[in-house]
């Protein structure tokens, strides 16, 4: 029994000695050698790390002063300068639309959301048409968090642009100046500011990846001359500015190409030169004044082509011309009322000219027809190519004003 008690006392003593040694090491009394190097006490090691690392807390020190701009690279300084200059002029736009419940009663519902740019200190905001389309209520939230109720005063579905107006009262506003999109070059650096996925005031950077891209929108209209960029554009960026390094708007971010719903580095912006052209009309009239040919157009489709035994399968059949209108005066011919056919709820008159081109630009669909006249103004003259029977003819037509509700 004495032997067992002695062994227990021995091991208890060894354990106590080990604890004492560990405590002495912790207070820096005992020195430790690292790989045969000069002995360094733990206290000295702590002192050596104190300028860059808090040994006790295991955290890096917090800087007491912000670094000066000279400490950033030139590219970083450029990004910072553009963001600080333009960020205050980028707004978040949220909308409400009218929906219907199970009893077919109208009820308010959350609509889309996006971004916009303040282009005038009186409260004019440039954004996308699809951001505010069908909205009965529009809220504009500024960079400082203040929210105003806005009104859509003009929209252009053909270029996916719209202007929203709100009353800032005495609130000072920051604006973004228009740049020049006619001088852009592939490879040029660009920056985008917006509210992707509700993450407000987000900056992304990239380059111009392509110019003059044509894309067909959800109305079948081809938007031409789009800017392609790899700056990340995601849902919520729509309507926000694409900026050059001088902080000027060179495009309005409008859509992305994506198989997944997120950015894959292919985004598109409407050139600012297009916005510069249409914004005055949107503010003054609520729509863009464009030229028009006074006809009732019908896009060719297979069953119509077969029934009418037409020699072509794509183009615009002139079902009717307006009596005394510009098409009538130019010599274009509409269909024969004795050759009427019904298509759904509409009546098509056969035998009229088929438009195949305008000013040399092929017209195969209604979208092409609107696209060919998109940049025109009332009073402009265009050359219209038609197929009459088997003959191709050209007529000069002086355009009239298109009804703003056409699209």
Give catalytic residues, as residue numbers.
130, 160, 238
Q: Find out whether 349 and 334 touch, Cβ atoms under 8 Å.
A: yes
Of 331, 335, 326, 332, nearest to 300 by C-alpha is: 335
Backbone φ, ψ for residue 90 (5° rounding): -100, 130
CA distances to 129, 194, 198 from 240, in Å: 12, 5, 13
Q: Give residue for tokens 């392609």.
A: 228
Q: Find out whether 350 and 308 touch, Cβ atoms under 8 Å.
A: yes
Q: Find out whether 129 and 156 touch, Cβ atoms under 8 Å.
A: yes
Retrieve residue 137's tokens.
Answer: 């209520």
Q: Find out whether 66 and 112 touch, Cβ atoms under 8 Å.
A: no
User: Count of CB atoms within 10 A of residue 188's CB?
Assistant: 15
Q: Give residue for tokens 């000072």.
A: 172
Residue 176, C-beta contacts closer than 8 angstroms, at least 6 positions apart: 86, 89, 90, 117, 118, 119, 241, 243, 247, 248, 249
* Calpha distance 87→193 (Å, rounded): 7
* Calpha distance 114→205 (Å, rounded): 18
Residue 117 is inside which H or E element, if any? Answer: strand 106-120
Of 356, 349, 373, nearest to 313 by C-alpha is: 356
């Amino acid at each position: 029994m004495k032997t067992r008690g002695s062994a227990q006392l021995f091991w208890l003593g060894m354990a106590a000695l080990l604890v004492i040694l560990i405590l002495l090491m912790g207070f820096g009394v005992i020195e430790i050698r690292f790989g045969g190097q000069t002995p360094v006490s733990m206290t000295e090691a702590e002192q050596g790390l104190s300028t860059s690392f808090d040994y006790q807390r295991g955290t890096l020190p917090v800087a007491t002063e912000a670094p000066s701009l000279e400490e950033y690279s030139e590219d970083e300084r450029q990004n910072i300068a553009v963001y600080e200059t333009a960020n205050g002029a980028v707004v978040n736009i949220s909308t409400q639309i009218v929906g219907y419940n199970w009893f077919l009663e109208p009820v308010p519902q959350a609509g889309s959301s996006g971004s916009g740019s303040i282009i005038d200190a009186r409260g004019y905001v440039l954004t996308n048409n699809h951001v505010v389309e069908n909205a009965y209520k529009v809220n504009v939230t500024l960079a400082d968090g203040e929210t105003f109720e806005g009104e859509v005063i003009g929209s252009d579905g053909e270029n996916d642009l719209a202007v929203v107006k709100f009353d800032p009262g005495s609130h000072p506003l920051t604006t973004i100046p228009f740049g020049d999109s006619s001088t852009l070059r592939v490879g040029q650096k660009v920056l985008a500011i917006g509210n992707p996925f509700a993450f407000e005031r987000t900056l992304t950077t990239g380059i111009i990846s392509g110019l003059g891209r044509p894309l067909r929108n959800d109305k079948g209209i081809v938007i031409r001359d789009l800017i392609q960029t790899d700056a990340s554009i995601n849902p919520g960026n729509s309507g926000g500015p694409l900026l050059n390094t001088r902080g000027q708007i060179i495009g309005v971010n409008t859509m992305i190409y994506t198989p997944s719903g997120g950015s894959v580095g292919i985004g598109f912006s409407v050139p600012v030169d297009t916005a510069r052209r249409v914004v005055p009309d949107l503010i003054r009239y609520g729509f863009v004044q464009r030229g028009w040919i006074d006809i009732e157009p019908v896009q060719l489709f297979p069953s119509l082509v077969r029934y009418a035994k037409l020699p072509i399968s794509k183009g615009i059949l002139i079902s009717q011309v307006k009596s005394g209108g510009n098409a009538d005066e130019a010599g274009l011919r509409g269909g024969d009322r004795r050759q009427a056919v019904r298509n759904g709820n509409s009546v098509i008159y056969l035998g009229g000219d088929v438009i195949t081109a305008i000013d040399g630009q092929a017209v195969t669909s209604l979208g092409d027809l609107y696209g060919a006249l998109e940049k025109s103004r009332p009073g402009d003259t265009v050359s219209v190519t038609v197929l009459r029977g088997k003959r191709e003819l050209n007529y000069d037509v002086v355009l009239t004003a298109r009804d703003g509700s056409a699209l």
